[in-house]
Structure 1
Amino acid sequence: MRTELERDVVQLREELAHAASDLVDLLRDSGDGAGDDQADAGAKTYEREQEISLANNAREMLDQTERALERIADGSYGTCESCGNPIGKMRLQAAPRATLCIPCKTSQERR
Structure 2
Amino acid sequence: MTAPAEAATLPVREGEDRWTERELAEVRSELATEIVALREEIAAAATQIAAGDATDGAGDDLTDAGAKTYEREHEMALVNNARDLLAQNERAIERMDAGTYGVCESCGRPIGKGRLQAFPRATLCVTCKQREERR
- TM-score by length of structure 2 reads 0.77
Corresponding letter in the other structure for 2:70:
Y
**Corresponding residue number in structure 2 for 1:51:** 75
**Corresponding residue number in structure 1 for 2:101:** 77
* Pairs within 5 Å for 1:1-111: 1-29=27-55, 31=56, 33-111=57-135
Measure, in 2, the Cα distance between the counterparts of 1:59 and 1:92. 21
**Corresponding residue number in structure 1 for 2:13:** none
Using the TM superposition, name which of 95-104 and 78-87 deviates more.
78-87
TM superposition shift of 1:107: 0.7
Measure, in 1, the Cα distance between the counterparts of 2:91 and 2:65. 39
Using the TM superposition, name which of 82-91 and 36-45 deviates more.
82-91
- For structure 1, which runs of at least 5 residues remain unmatched after alignment? none
Measure, in 2, the Cα distance between the counterparts of 1:86 and 1:36. 56
Structure with higher RCO (Cα < 8 A, 6+ apart): 2
- For structure 2, which runs of at least 5 residues remain unmatched after alignment? 1-26
TM superposition shift of 1:108: 1.0
The structure richer in helix per residue is: 1
Measure, in 2, the Cα distance between the counterparts of 1:27 and 1:93. 41
Q: Percentage identity across aligned positions?
A: 61
Measure, in 1, the Cα distance between the counterparts of 2:118 and 2:53. 37
The one-character-per-residue Cα deviations of 1:76-101 (angstroms, maximum 9, x if unpaired) are: 11111111111112211221100000
Structure 2 SS opposite 1:105: helix
Corresponding letter in the other structure for 1:97:
R
- TM-score by length of structure 1 reads 0.93
Corresponding letter in the other structure for 1:55:
V
Query: How many positions carry a matched residue from both structures?
Result: 109
Structure 2 SS opposite 1:36: coil
Corresponding letter in the other structure for 1:52:
M
Structure 1 SS opposite 2:123: coil
Corresponding letter in the other structure for 1:22:
Q
